[in-house]
A and B are shown apart, each in its own frame.
Chain A
Amino acid sequence: MNIPADLKYTPSHEWVRVEADGTLTVGITHHAQDLLGDMVFIENPAAGRALKKGEECAVVESVKAASDVYAPVAGEVIAANGDVESSPEAINKDAYSAWMFKLKPANAADVAELMDAAAYQKLVESEAH
């Protein structure tokens, strides 16, 4: 199971990296891409968009299915990864380097509510049974 210890996670299978400046980088987990299969289309939120926690803000589509991606915390989109939009298969190759968008959280403290790697691992294992 590929769940880096230095990242935070959501129950809806997004990963979140807390950068040194307090901004958040967001993508979908290795487990999520594995279940979705070959990625063919990514739609990211526009920079400047204000998101509520849990808001549908991006879409990942594999050959098989479309899935919504949710804002891990409330905040403002400060960047979207154009490279992953033009090469969606990058998510299959390495889900943790193929980030989707960056967020400036409305409240830095909200990050504490995200799951750590151990909790996310438990979630994935519980879903497998």
Chain B
Amino acid sequence: MERIRASLLFLVTVMSNHAASTPAALKLTPLNATHRGLAAKMVDFGGWDMPVNYGSQIEEHHAVRRGCGLFDVSHMLPLDIKGSNVRAFLKRLVANNVDKLQVSGKALYSCMLNEAGGVIDDLIIYFMDESWFRLVVNAGSAEKDLAWMEKMNADWGMGLTLTPRRDLAMIAIQGPNATQALNQALPGVDSITANLKPFNAAAMGEMFIARTGYTGEDGFEVMVLAKSAPFFWQALMEAGGQPIGLGARDTLRLEAGMNLYGQDMDETTSPLESGLAWTVDMKAERDFVGRAALEKSEITKQLVGLVLLDKGVLRGHQKVLTKNGDGEITSGSFSPTMEKSIALARIPLGIAPGQEVEVEIRDKKLRAKVVKYPFVRSGKVLIEI
């Protein structure tokens, strides 16, 4: 569990412990030397040595909303599933229905649930052809995901081949100028970017270009062979892309109202109480893992957005007091775009947008307004306070 309030002493100790050198135990992306060359502040992010910022997190945040930002997301794991029954496997494995994927390159966001209906991970599934689907899973969940999928593959006698693609690097190019930057960095790619709709991908040899992201802006997530990644990154920077660390990645996704696995949902929470009901497809007669538990479950909570009305900063795990009982902030931070503190919070049902709640911050109870998220999309604030 992330520690939210640390003394400066604690924070300084933790953060500078590997500022000077990279402990051998940390995993490195193919862009590690690139980040260090750019004087990034590196942190241990779930066992990966990753850039948290390259200077000012707030400036990086604005660069994505206003121009073009580059993110190294190579810690996430692309996973190819191949064989004759991939679609049938995924229809049982995940909560969303891959039958929504009928055109090659189309992507689907889904949760993978355990039998109790808790979220093992959230992931993106790309349909390439009937014998090849590509998944992208979270870095911190990759090993358990793979073990779970291999177990299901065996238990159900599917005989599929699951191949983790650690030979690939992934760079996200996000912001209103993302298309222009990608076109300039990769001559000839404009024939693909011109026709690629949101949540679709195209493969060109080992290069894989998806119009997806985690910022609420237009943009791409591009996979390339690991050895090519530093050159590609350099070309993107020359085309106007600005390096963005994990710090701004978090505030961007929070403003965009996108869940973060391990904070907004985990194995103990239901997707139906995590703002993810839209990703759980119960319409079709389909026996997916976790479905029976979800059908039996009683939903008592909801994920809502909060905007702090008083001065302070909302953070994960702060207690939310409502007239229907207590809830908890799952993700909270300062929104650079709104210049207010915002949060996602799991609170009792029956509290509607527009209503006020209180949040316990240290020894104070501060006022916050419940809002419907996302907070920001395509550079525009969607919330009126």
Contact = CB atoms under 8 A, between A and B. Distances in A.
A128 B5 contact: no
A46 interface: no
Contacts of B53: 37
A11 interface: yes
A70 B12 contact: no
Contact of A67 (B6, B13, B341): B6
A104 interface: no
Interface stretch (A18-26, A57-65, A74-82, A105-113): A57-65
Interface in A70-124: 70, 92, 124
B247 A63 contact: yes
A41 B7 contact: no
B13 A36 contact: no
Contacts of A92: 56
A62 B12 CA distance: 14
B18 to A, nearest CB: 9
Contact of A127 (B5, B17, B311): B17
Given A37-B57, A41-B334, A65 B6 contact: yes
A66 B7 contact: no
A129 B158 CA distance: 50
A128 B57 contact: no
B9 A63 contact: no
Contacts of B312: 41, 43, 61
Most chain A CB within 10 A, of B5, B8, B41, B313, is at B8
Most chain B CB within 10 A, of A12, A35, A59, is at A35
A38 B248 CA distance: 11
Interface in B47-83: 52-53, 56-58
A11 B8 CA distance: 9
A32 interface: yes
B334 A40 contact: yes
A13 interface: yes
Contacts of A16: none
Contacts of A28: 8
A31 interface: yes
Interface string B335-355: 010000100000000000000
A114 to B, nearest CB: 15
A65 B16 contact: no
B15 interface: yes
A41 B11 contact: no
B20 interface: yes
A46 B58 CA distance: 29
Contacts of B4: 65-66
B251 interface: yes
A127 B16 contact: yes
A65 B11 contact: yes
A68 interface: yes
B8 A128 contact: no
A63 B57 contact: yes
B296 interface: no
Interface in B319-335: 333-334
A69 interface: yes
Contacts of B56: 37-38, 92
Given A38-B58, A41-B334, A128-B19, A66 B313 contact: yes
A38 B5 contact: no
Given A40-B334, A41-B311, A63-B57, A11 B247 contact: no
A111 to B, nearest CB: 20
B52 A32 contact: no
B11 A35 contact: yes
25 contacts: A14-B8, A32-B12, A35-B11, A35-B12, A37-B52, A37-B57, A38-B56, A40-B313, A41-B311, A41-B313, A41-B341, A61-B313, A63-B247, A63-B336, A65-B5, A65-B11, A67-B7, A67-B8, A68-B5, A69-B8, A124-B16, A127-B12, A127-B13, A128-B20, A129-B20
Interface of A: 11-14, 28, 31-32, 35-38, 40-41, 43, 59-70, 92, 124, 127-129
Interface of B: 4-9, 11-13, 15-17, 19-20, 41, 52-53, 56-58, 247, 251, 311-313, 315, 333-334, 336, 341, 362
